[in-house]
Structure formats: structure tokens, C-alpha cells
Structure 1
Amino acid sequence: MGRGVSGRDGAGEASREDPAEGRGGHLMRKRLVGWVCDTALILYFVFALFPIAWMVILSLKPTDQLFSTYFSFSPTLDGYRTVLGDSEGIPFVRFFVNSLVVSVGAVALSLVVGLPAAYASARWRFKGSENLMFTLLSFRFAPELTVIIPLFVLYQKLGLFDTYVGMVWVLQLVTLPLIVWIMRSYFADLTPELEQAALLDGYTRKQAFFRVALPLVKPGIAAVSLLAFIFAWNNFVFPLILTSNEAQTVTVGALSFLGGDRPKYNLTAAAALVSVVPPLLLALTIQRYLVRGLSFGAVKS
């Protein structure tokens, strides 16, 4: 009789302990899955960032150790001094300035034209307006190689080859559709009642655009300006074909160090890292507006 009672008590105790053991096993499995996911993410980031780390290593290698070692070498800044000092006969600093001029010029011109166009397309719809907008967007979709030959011929005839004006003009194919389409969504998210109230107060449509609509989309303007600048700065095909020396940009000029009997990969890496500085500094400068601009309109009341 005592054994029966004790047996039942033991079974009851085991049943009371089972849920705790189950929760403990579930917690261990959850932690194990978390460790596996964290390890996979770390490995992915190492894989993704390794090219940048390798570029830094290459840029710090001296020329005589460029092909003889991998990670064991005597780091030096001679590569950066050579790139920025024009000692190789390659005016990289001028290419850098060219990129700044044409990229800022292209973004500025695209904003002047694109912001009113985006506002108009968001506020007024007419027959064929969507087709017109899609045609504008198709300029961004089309491969640059499909239009480069006619552009090359036109630039030769019009005297725009290897000029700042020619580069700023052709980069509109890259920056203008981007600005119009992105800013169109920002203006569409604004309630029209704000501008209607301004019109009732005596503002003209132009004043309502500049004093009411534009200030409200400043974060969006900052975000789209940065994106357009990066696209213009990184463009390779147009500077490669439509410039030769005077208006050549860093994307093409950095490859000049690969010429000769022995390619200077350390100088190319140094030039590439220097060319990353302007977009990076611009992103850090407008970071506050960039975060707000990218999330603008994501949550509506």
C-alpha cells in the first residue's frame, strides 16, 4: 500500500518537473539558434567587408612588396602621396575636382528641373500623364551603352565632347528621373489642404510651392540629393566615352594607374579610397535628414 502511494507521488513529481525541463530545453534550443544566426551574420559581414579591407591593405603596400606578400608588409602612405602629388604624370587631383564639379552641377540642375516636375505630376493628373512619367523613368532603365554612340556623335558635332557642360547635361539621364520619381511620392504624401489654405490666405501657387510644400519635404530633398550625387559620382560609361582628359572623372582616372608594363594596384586602390571620401562625408553631414527622408511617408496617420 505504501509502495503504491509512493509510486503515485513519484509519478506526480515527475509530471511536475517535465514542464520545467521542457522549457529549459526550448530555451537552450533558442539560444543555440541565436548563436548560429549571429555567427552566420558575422561571417557574412566579414565576407562583405573583406574587399574594402583588401583595398586598404593594397593602398598601404609599397610597390616592391606588392606581389611578394599578402598581409606581412611594411605599411606606407607613399601610394596616397603619389596619387595626390601627380608624381606619376596622372593628374588625379584634377580628375577629383572634375567629378565634384560635374556631380554637383548635375544634381543642382536636376533639382531645379525635377522638383517642380515632381510637384506638378503629384498634384495634376491628365490623360497620358502616367505614360509621360513612365517614359521619363525609362531613361533610367535603358542601358547607357544603347545611347552612348549617338551621344558621342552629337557631342563631337556640338563641341560638347570633354567639357563640363557636356558631362552635366548627359548626367541628367541618370539623376533627373531618379529625382522626379522619388520626389513625386513625397509630394503625393503631403495633404493638399495645406496648399489650399495658403491659397486662401492670398498666396500664389508658386508661393505655396516654395513656402509650404518645399519646406515640408526637406528631408526627402536631402535623401534624393545624396542618392543622385552617388549615382552621378559613380557613373563610368559616360565619362569613359564622352571625355578624354579635361573633364575626365575619378571613375575613369583611377584606372590610369593600371597602365604600363607593371600595373600599380596600390596606387589604384589609394585612388579608389580617396574617391570614396566625398559621398561618405556628404552622407555623414546630412545623416539626420537622410534617415527622416528615407522613412518619410512610411507611416501615415
Structure 2
Amino acid sequence: MDHTSFLERWFRRVALSIIIVFFMFPIFWIVLMSFQTNETILRSPPSMSFTPTLDNYMAIIAGRLDSNVASMGIDFVNNLMNSIILSVCSVAVALVLGVPAAYAFARHKFRGSEDIAFTLLSFRFAPPLLVLLPLTLYFQEIGLADTYLGLVWVYQLICLPLILWIVRGYFEDISPDIEYAYRIAGHSWFSTFRKIALPLAGPGIAAAGLLAFIFAWNNFIFALVLASADKQPVTVGALAFVTASGIQYGQIAAAIVLSIAPTLALALWAQRYLVEGLSLGAVKG
């Protein structure tokens, strides 16, 4: 029995190690590429033996795209700041609108509630190209084209359905008896929502906010069409690294490392809330 248990634990560790290596190796290779020159990256066969250099990061921060023909200007740092502004603001707006709505759908059943919730979720089903032309025309009419406000409004429409449906499930997992007892003590609905429901669903809200932030950060098509160069995020700004004279693989790798750093830092910070959120969703109140 002990021998079988040992083999089972050993097999699980080996399988887990293989899975981790399989999924993490591309990221590890990109990090290595960010410290290499184009000549080192393109050599055949590839090798992990090289002299590290910070030229790729220095070129990005300085706003310079080096090529074999000329040195072109880029503004990747501005693109990175645009991504942070758009993602943070859109998730904040989606949380302010989506969390109370999720609580209302979870606690108050009314006629057409499921239809309204499904309609909001359908925003995630529709391909971006379906609404891109109408949005462009409307934004030009009301003056929201090429503005942060317009982009944040579009981005929060991406985040809102995700937050609404995820947080709704966490509110439904909380026993309503706890809230009823607090209400009987003479507290208002808003006080019950703020002091009871929100803290209990906090890990779920954090998990939904993190997922929404990742979706907003990775959005490409809306910013490509609705924003000019000075307001475009990193997903669009990365196109500057592909030029007629060649592809700057080292600088692309450095840009990828810098672009995933904020989401990685946020995920590490919210890791505790993610674990608590999964535990909360696994047990009914």
C-alpha cells in the first residue's frame, strides 16, 4: 500500500512538472530572447548560450526602433501607460455598475431578469467587427472618437458581462439568512449590501476584476480603429516592431515582457483572493 502510494505521488509530481514546463517554457524563452540581439536569436541551431544585453529594453524606453536601414521612433512607454489607463478605468467602471447589478440579479427575481442578464452576456458573444462600424459612426457624431472616455466606455462593455455573471454566482452562494438576520436588526438594504454581501463576496469580486482586467488589457480591434497613435494600447503599439526592413525580435520580446509585467504583478497580488474565491464558489452557504 505504501509502495503504491509512493508511486502515485511520484507520478503526480512528474506529471505536474511536465505540465508546468510545457506551459512556462514559451514565457521563459521570450524572456531569454529579450536579452539577445537579432543576430543571436536568428542563429541556427538556436542555443541558450549567449551574452546578455539590455539594449532591447533601453531602445524601447528611449523610444527608438533600431533596424538595419534606419532608426525609427516608437512610443511604447506611452502605449503601456495607455493600456494601464484604459484597463484600470474600464474595470473600475464595470465593477461600479456590475457588482450592484449582480447582487440585484442574485437576490431579487423579477419578470424578465434572466432575459436582461442573458442580453448583457450576449455582448460577449457578438464579434467586435459586428459593432465596430456603428460605434465608429456614433462616436464621430457625439465627439467620443479618439478619446479616452470613448475607449473606456467600449472597454467596460467588454468587462461588464464578465463581472456581472461571475459575481452573481458568488452572491448566490452566500446564504440569504445572514442578510435577513442583519436586516431584522433594523439595517437598510444598502447597509446590508455594503457590510455583509460585499465582504463575503470580496474574493469573487477580486477574481472577476482580475479576469476583466486581462480581457481589457488584451483587447486589440477596438483600439486599432477607434484610437489614434497617441491613445493606442500596447496590443496595437506592438505593430510598430514589424517594419519593411525586418522584424525586431529582441525588442518584440522585451516589449512582451514589459506588457505582461502589470498583469502578472496584479495576478500575484490577487492570488490570495483568487484562492479564496474558488473556495467560496465550491461550498454552498
Same fold (TM over 0.5): yes
1:36-78 deviations in whole A, cap 9, x for unaligned? 7765654444333332122122211123434235224322111
Aligned residue identity for 1:275: S
Alignment match, 1:148: 132
2:33 is aligned, of 43, 58, 70, to 58
Greater CA deviation, 105-114 or 46-55?
46-55
1:75 to 2:59 alignment: no
Structure 2 residue runs of 5 or longer lacking an equivalent are 66-72
Instruction: Work out whether residues 62 and 74 of structure 1, in 8 Å CA contact, stay in contact via their aligned partners in 2.
Output: no
1:279 to 2:279 alignment: no
Judged with a 3 Å threshold, the aligned counterparts in structure 2 of structure 1 residues 198 and 39 are, in CA distance, closer, same or farther, namely: closer
Which whole-Å CA distance do the structure 1 matches of 2:136 and 2:149 have between them?
A: 14
SS in 2 for 1:104: helix
Alignment match, 1:20: none
Which whole-Å CA distance do the structure 2 matches of 1:295 and 1:235 have between them?
A: 29
> Which one scores higher on RCO, CA 8 angstroms, separation ≥ 6?
2
Which whole-Å CA distance do the structure 2 matches of 1:242 and 1:263 have between them?
A: 26
Judged with a 3 Å threshold, the aligned counterparts in structure 2 of structure 1 residues 37 and 205 are, in CA distance, closer, same or farther, namely: closer
Which whole-Å CA distance do the structure 2 matches of 1:45 and 1:80 have between them?
A: 27
TM-score by length of structure 2 reads 0.88
1:270 is aligned, of 245, 249, 254, to 254
Which whole-Å CA distance do the structure 1 matches of 2:108 and 2:19 have between them?
A: 46
Which whole-Å CA distance do the structure 1 matches of 2:26 and 2:198 have between them?
A: 40
Greater CA deviation, 233-242 or 271-280?
233-242
Question: Which has more radius of gyration?
Answer: 1
Which whole-Å CA distance do the structure 2 matches of 1:176 and 1:63 have between them?
A: 41
Alignment match, 1:3: none
Alignment match, 1:126: 110
2:99 is aligned, of 99, 103, 115, to 115
1:138 to 2:97 alignment: no
Judged with a 3 Å threshold, the aligned counterparts in structure 2 of structure 1 residues 236 and 197 are, in CA distance, closer, same or farther, namely: same
TM-score by length of structure 1 reads 0.84
Alignment match, 2:61: 84
Which whole-Å CA distance do the structure 2 matches of 1:157 and 1:272 have between them?
A: 36
Structure 1 residue runs of 5 or longer lacking an equivalent are 1-22
Q: How does 1:1-301 map to 2 (within 5 A)?
A: 31=7, 42-69=17-44, 70-71=46-47, 72-88=49-65, 89-300=73-284
Greater CA deviation, 142-151 or 38-47?
38-47
Identity level (%)? 50
Query: Post-superposition shift, 1:199?
Result: 2.3
- Count of aligned pairs: 276
Query: Post-superposition shift, 1:119?
Result: 0.6
